[in-house]
Amino acid sequence: MPTYNAPVEDMLFLYEKLRDNKNYNEIDKYKEVTTDLVKNILEEAAKINQNLILPLAKAGDENPTVLENGVVRTPPGYKEAYKKFIEDGWTSLSCDPKYGGQGMPKTVSAFFDEMLSSASLAFKLYSELTLGAYNCINHHATDEIKNKYLPKMVEGKWSGTMCLTEPVCGTDLGLLKTKAVEQSDGTYKITGQKIFITSGDHDLTENIIHLVIARASDSPKGTKGISLFLVPKFIVKEDGSIGTRNGISTGSIETKMGIKGSATCVLNFDEATGYMIGPKNKGLSQMFTMMNLERIVVGIQGLGISEIAYQNSLIYAKERKQGKSTKNQSPNGNADLIIEHADIRKTLLNMKSIIEGERALCFWLSQQTEVSLNHSDQKIKQDATDMVSLMTPVVKSLFSDLGMEITSDAMQIYGGYGYTKDQGIEQLYRDNRITPIYEGTNSVQAIDLVFRKLVNQNGDIIDKYISMIKGDLNKNNKDLSSFVTKLEVYIDKLSKFSNWMKDKIKTSKDDANAASNDYLRVLGYVAIGYSWLKVLEVSYKDYSNNKDFYEDKIQTANFYFNRVLPRVESHYLSATTGSKYIMDFKFN
């Protein structure tokens, strides 16, 4: 089984030294969230993830969820761990104190999300979807519904889901068939089938609150006729107690490649009682409140799995002897540890430089997210919302794709042992494989980025982002000069690529489509480079206070700028060759 040590030191470094967003620091309710408080939270989070949650990863993989006589049973140890998990208040960490939450910002909860993803992604999903449903209800439901459902969800006694996909539609939700028939009392009868529902049914909580998109009888076809409904597994009485079973049943549990401890269900709704959330026919935009936050969290899942894959690869490389390095002076021809080989060192540094850069970018994004939700100035809120909107598909896609690269490389470092189940490394690869797929496949994310996020009703967002980066480059700092010079080259490539893309959106949508994934990666690699530059600025400034830590940061960044950032050039050159030779190709 893999080992795991939560990177608390790196997380605290980011929280203490890179919490530099002026607008974020103006949010009154977070001014009392001190570094000492965050340190205590992260240290406790590390304990529960390392000691209690980590063993569940193997248990869930070897003993998946099962459906027996209509009841979904989670793997051994899950119920006991979940009970402790909610007793310690981890489901309430970022929730509103009004409903029993602790009110921590996403600059803190994102670190916990990463730890939990490292420890056991399958276990994490039971609480993750609850938080997504909580956010959606909190943003769009009436006070009556919020007061009735949110306290138990925040406590963790009730869980939540997001029910979108159906057999007839994947991402194209306009094709959905689930119907909602209004009743005389204002409720709706929901009938239809939903598939791939994460945590759709289980034995961990007293009730499950499903958020379901459906079409009312008098609504138009397509996405303009979609409404959002709250449909509980058990009807909740007026006094808040649980009543009779609603018209929801579990048809089956998907047999999956990974995250086997997570119950991914087919749910059948048979005239189930539902309550409309928000205005009729506005359900898709309401659901995106949940989906957009989920997409960022999916990126963090890729980051978390990458971290544990790296940690174990490093340990193995320091223990495994194989071959002779160029430094081998052994008269007996003894083998060296594989960490002495240049290719292994390169692979490990590739992992490390990407992971730490991603974590820094995620911290920047978490500050922007809080500003977009909580700042008092509407203009500042909107600007932050645009930045979050721009970077959401990047974090979701790039982090999850690089998670596949890193877990694959981890298996390679382990050699034949990595391919066997004994070490647990191949499970990391399998568990992460869903992250580029769910919450909208990565190609869908790339197309969304290109066609909807670069330019919107608020202006040229990508140009604003590029201008922000350029304005933040510290060209007078001699320590940073070589890094700044390299980043400027790739910012220029991003700018040229952006202009090319904006032109192709108007003149050749096929060209833009074919280049979307490459464009997303270019933007992502530059964004991580920008995040590394902010880390470097602190590292050189505070170098004498913690030489070992900051020297490690400087050398890791050096690898990123020399070995990872140049990937931009390849993506730019291949993407801008266009699409005619692709679209004209005749498949037999």
Query: Catalytic residue positions?
Result: 439
| Burial grade of 542 (CB within 10 A; 0-12, 13-18, 19 or more) | middle
Residue 474 DSSP symbol: -
Q: Which amino acid is at 87?
A: E
What are the residues whose beta carbons fall under 8 Å from the beta carbon of 141, sequence distance 6 or more? Answer: 149, 230, 277, 278
Instruction: Please name the helix (run of DSSP H) or strand (run of DSSP E) that holds residue 266, with its range, or none.
Output: strand 264-277
Round to whole Å and give the CA distance between 241 and 506: 56
Round to whole Å and give the CA distance between 123 and 114: 13
Q: How many CB atoms lie within 10 A of CB 415?
A: 12
Is the distance from CB of 322 to CB of 344 less than 8 angstroms?
Answer: no
Q: Are strands 207-216 and 179-182 parallel, antiparallel or unpaired?
A: parallel
**Of 103, 101, 97, 90, the residue nearest 46 (C-alpha):** 90
Round to whole Å and give the CA distance between 149 and 240: 8
User: Strands, DSSP E only, in 123-263?
Assistant: 158-163, 179-182, 188-198, 207-216, 227-232, 234-236, 242-245, 248-253
CA angle 292, 293, 298 (to 5 degrees): 95
Is the distance from CB of 298 to CB of 292 less than 8 angstroms?
Answer: no
Is the distance from CB of 6 to CB of 46 less than 8 angstroms?
Answer: yes
